[in-house]
Structure 1
Amino acid sequence: MEALTLGPSGTYSHRAATAVADEVSFTESVTAIVEAVADGEYDRGVVPVENSIEGSVTESLDAFTEYDVAVVRELITPIRHALLAQGDDFEVVASHPQALAQCRSYLESEYPDVDTEAVASTARGVERARADPDVAAIGHPDTAGEDLQILAEDIQDRSSNATRFVVVAPASQRSDAGGKTSLIVYPNVDYPGLLLEMLEPFAERDINMTRVESRPSGERLGDYVFHIDISAGLYEERAQAALEDIEAIAENGWVRRLGSYDTEHVLD
């Protein structure tokens, strides 16, 4: 099985993808990953959806709204950031925007006069550091190789730093089996108490909502799509009953069941 994920080789996404597939291909856009899986070009895609420090990866959420895919697995992996460079003297730190944000306090404390540069991935930052002695990178310590020094390890602002990845598959492979379910709800209405109405079907059936987040629908200002994760499988009667209520609330819009899945922890 071949999976598509964020590249180039050496990204945290790549590390997560090796737990899914024997062959891993790369692109530099989350949207491109989801689109390629939806179009049947790849069996699986691995995309980041949430970090314990910086929160949701909004490009992933928006891609799930735009393209019809299934979520079939969830991977939780710890994030260990290191500062990598050819030497101690550099002018720029390059990395993915999320990595830069996750190490903000360290950089402000230790390198207040050094500029930061956002690139497509941590691996791209490492490539920049290999090519230019004036550039340092933030990435996994194993990506230093023989030509970069590890100037500091575990520089993330919190030791509990972890990223949640999901494995996407073609919509035809959506499953009702699993301990967790992801949904997208577009009510296409707006009135006082709407959000409360959407919460009640789950609360009344003792279903824990592990995440609820709104994203602009793109249709008009103030119009939102809701991304919801629940701790229940679609095979459960209580989940089916709750979704019937949600679909009634969203009768002018739509509800997409991304599928049920289980959580795995991937240690690097």
Structure 2
Amino acid sequence: MTTITLGPAGTYSHRAAQAVEGGDISFSESVTGIVESVADGAADRGVVPVENSIEGSVTESLDAFAEHDVAVVREIITPIRHALLAQGESFDLVASHAQALAQCRGWLEEHYPDVELEAVASTARGVERAREDPSVAAIGHPENATNGTDLDVLAEDIQDQSSNATRFVVVAPASERSDAGGKSSFIVYPNADYPGLLLELLEPFADRDINLTRVESRPSGERLGDYVFHIDVAAGLYEERTQAALADIEAIAEDGWVRRLGSYDSETVLN
């Protein structure tokens, strides 16, 4: 089994992907590329970040789920430990993924207010820059400074919130979608806009005592003010109450569509 995730090796996505049993891990430079590879059958599994406890949703992941038909089969929560890595104490630039830079914004402003920040494709890509150039520091997991590299850990746990964690999901081909699990995700495109629409979409869950764990709106790309809604609930699609709620949702979105990404279980992985 081949699992694809954000690369190169050493990213937080790579560490989460190591929790997927069996097979090889390959890498992509983008979340969209990961989801496309699974949808097209080029990979058996994909591991993508969908939400961080500090910076919120990863919008590229949400947009890719709306564009490509895949299943979500598992959720992996992993605490994020950021460290400042460099060849020495003196550097002019910190390179890392935009999310990592944002998660450490306060710490960097306090300790290195004059250093330039540069967003790169992944934390591991920033680590590569730091290995190649002594004037560049990186933000990444402290283990990126081991294994015979020339990098030193200048500071650990530099994230602004000690509770920093990222939620990853494992995606599979749509044919592997399951109704079994403690959580479910789906996407709703009502193809409509009128007062009270969002309330109508949420009431079927409230009426059945189903807890919404996340509601996110993203532009549909069709026209200004037109949205796709991403909804996660703490209930399985096998449950009668969830099925009844979705039947109501599908009636409301009869001029659009509803995509069931599937039900799955969640686990926390320490790394």
TM-score over 0.5 for the pair: yes
Provide the C-alpha distance between the structure 2 equivalents of 1:161 and 1:13, rounded to a whole number of angstroms.
Answer: 15
How much is the aligned-residue C-alpha RMSD, in angstroms?
0.5
How many corresponding residue pairs? 268
Q: Which amino acid aligns with 1:129?
A: A
Provide the C-alpha distance between the structure 1 equivalents of 2:79 and 2:88, rounded to a whole number of angstroms.
Answer: 27
Provide the C-alpha distance between the structure 1 equivalents of 2:99 and 2:145, rounded to a whole number of angstroms.
Answer: 19
Residue in 2 that maps onto 1:235: 238
Q: Could you give the per-residue CA deviations for residues 28-83 of structure 1, whole angstroms, max 9, x where no partner exists?
A: 10000000000011100000000000000000000000000000000000000000
Residue in 2 that maps onto 1:107: 108
Q: Could you give the per-residue CA deviations for residues 134-190 of structure 1, whole angstroms, max 9, x where no partner exists?
A: 000000000012310100000000000000000000000000000000010000011
Residue in 2 that maps onto 1:13: 13
Q: Which amino acid aligns with 2:140?
A: G
Residue in 1 that maps onto 2:97: 96
Q: Which amino acid aligns with 1:235?
A: Y
Q: Which of structure 1's runs of 4+ aligned residues deviate more than 2 A?
A: none
Provide the C-alpha distance between the structure 1 equivalents of 2:49 and 2:83, rounded to a whole number of angstroms.
Answer: 20
- Structure 2 matches for 1:1-268, cutoff 5 A? 1-22=1-22, 23-145=24-146, 146=148, 147-268=150-271
SS at match of 1:75: strand
Q: Which amino acid aligns with 2:218?
A: R
Q: Which amino acid aligns with 1:243?
A: L
Provide the C-alpha distance between the structure 2 equivalents of 1:136 and 1:45, rounded to a whole number of angstroms.
Answer: 29
Provide the C-alpha distance between the structure 2 equivalents of 1:113 and 1:197, rounded to a whole number of angstroms.
Answer: 49
Q: Which amino acid aligns with 1:192?
A: P
Provide the C-alpha distance between the structure 1 equivalents of 2:154 and 2:192, rounded to a whole number of angstroms.
Answer: 53
SS at match of 1:116: strand
Q: Which amino acid aligns with 1:264?
A: E
* TM-score (structure 2 length as normaliser): 0.98
* TM-score (structure 1 length as normaliser): 0.99
SS at match of 1:159: coil
Q: Which amino acid aligns with 1:224?
A: Y
Contact in 2 for aligned 1:30/1:60 (Cα 8 Å) = yes
Contact in 2 for aligned 1:3/1:21 (Cα 8 Å) = no
Q: Could you give the per-residue CA deviations for residues 69-99 of structure 1, whole angstroms, max 9, x where no partner exists?
A: 0000000000000000000000000000000
Q: Which amino acid aligns with 2:250?
A: E
Q: Which amino acid aligns with 2:238?
A: Y
Question: How far did residue 21 of structure 1 move?
Answer: 3.8
Listed as ranges, the gaps of 5+ residues in structure 1 are: none
Q: Could you give the per-residue CA deviations for residues 165-221 of structure 1, whole angstroms, max 9, x where no partner exists?
A: 000000000000000000100000111000000110000000000000100000000
Q: Which amino acid aligns with 1:176?
A: D
Listed as ranges, the gaps of 5+ residues in structure 2 are: none
Provide the C-alpha distance between the structure 1 equivalents of 2:263 and 2:245, rounded to a whole number of angstroms.
Answer: 15
Contact in 2 for aligned 1:77/1:265 (Cα 8 Å) = yes
Q: Which amino acid aligns with 2:80?
A: I
Provide the C-alpha distance between the structure 2 equivalents of 1:42 and 1:61, rounded to a whole number of angstroms.
Answer: 19
Question: How far did residue 2 of structure 1 move?
Answer: 1.4
Contact in 2 for aligned 1:2/1:21 (Cα 8 Å) = no
Q: Could you give the per-residue CA deviations for residues 231-257 of structure 1, whole angstroms, max 9, x where no partner exists?
A: 000000000000000000000000000
